[in-house]
Amino acid sequence: MKIGIIGAGNIGATLARKLVASGHKVKLANSRGPQSIQNLADQIGASAVTKEEAVREVEVVILSIPFARYPDLHETLSHVPHETVVIDTSNYYPARDGSIKEVDDGLPESLWVSAQLGRPVIKAWNAVLAATLAEKGQPDGSPKRLALPVAGADVDAESVAQSLVEDTGFAALAAGTLGDSWRQQPGTPAYCTELTLTELKLALNAADKARAPENRDALFARFMASESQFTHEQIVALNRTMTA
């Protein structure tokens, strides 16, 4: 498939690398311009482009930018065909992104993102740590293959996103509509806890909408207050413990 990725941080760059390796043609953009990511794109096998070029003549657009920056992409996406699948990988952290009243009042993150962009999105790859995405993908059929949730209202678009999640080495679980996508947001048992397909189904069902923001903020504060850097395993373990 022809895929445009806006955002070349840990998640965006890793997705570009994995999707190119799976045979997809990827254009990669960031906020600073193609020259700033040319070496990265060359290493990956992607094309370094502007964000405007990233959304032209592609079948899928993947957005991996800071949550509060989504309104900036409204114009960029305004001429993208309706049939183009747009995937949101972001997460909202008020301490980092600033307070957004609608989301603080309970609006699922990706419904807010859809409103900012003026078009529906699919929520995927948001509930995975960058190191997990980079290092823990496994082939289809592996008994301990980890699973990732995919939420969206359009069945065809969701199917495309699920297929791409599978291409990155993870089992894709249909997690409901965007209205249900709060179940995979930060502070829930499904978020960055490295679960198998069966475990992920249980985690989504166990999510508590009232507790999730409290868990999210407590975890963020815990990670920021530490004088020593947490290991990947410690982050996963703490996510599991505090959201159980």
Q: Angle, nearest 10°, between helix axes 155-167 and 10-21?
A: 80
Question: Which residue, 166, 198, 130, is CA-closest to 1?
Answer: 166
Q: What pLDDT is stored for residue 227 in this prediction?
A: 75
**pLDDT of 169-181, one tens digit each?**
999 999 999 999 9
* Burial group, residue 241, by CB count within 10 angstroms (0-12, 13-18, 19+): exposed
Q: What pLDDT is stored for residue 153 in this prediction?
A: 86
**pLDDT of 91-102, one tens digit each?**
999 999 999 999
Contacts of 129 (CB under 8 A, 6+ apart): 192, 194, 232, 235, 236
**pLDDT of 26-65, one tens digit each?**
999 999 999 999 999 999 999 999 999 999 999 999 999 9
Domain spans, the chain: 66-243
Tens digit of each residue's pLDDT, the chain (244 residues):
999 999 999 999 999 999 999 999 999 999 999 999 999 999 999 999 999 999 999 999 999 999 999 999 999 999 999 999 999 999 999 999 999 999 999 999 999 999 999 999 999 999 999 999 999 999 999 989 999 999 998 999 999 999 999 999 999 999 999 999 999 999 999 999 999 999 999 999 999 999 999 999 999 999 999 877 899 999 999 999 999 9
Q: What pLDDT is stored for residue 55 in this prediction?
A: 98
Question: Which residue, 75, 58, 154, is CA-closest to 116?
Answer: 75
| CATH domain 66-243 topology | Rossmann fold (3.40.50)
Q: What pLDDT is stored for residue 57 in this prediction?
A: 97
Reported pTM: 0.96
Q: What pLDDT is stored for residue 6 in this prediction?
A: 98
Q: What pLDDT is stored for residue 56 in this prediction?
A: 97
- CB < 8 Å & 24+ apart, contacts of 228-236: 232/129, 232/131, 232/132, 235/129, 235/192, 236/129, 236/132, 236/192, 236/193, 236/194
Taking the CA of residue 48 as centre, how many other CA atoms within 13 Å lie in the half-sphere pointing to its CB? Answer: 16
d(C-alpha 158, C-alpha 182), whole Å: 16
Residue 80, Cβ neighbours under 10 Å: how many?
A: 16
d(C-alpha 68, C-alpha 98), whole Å: 8
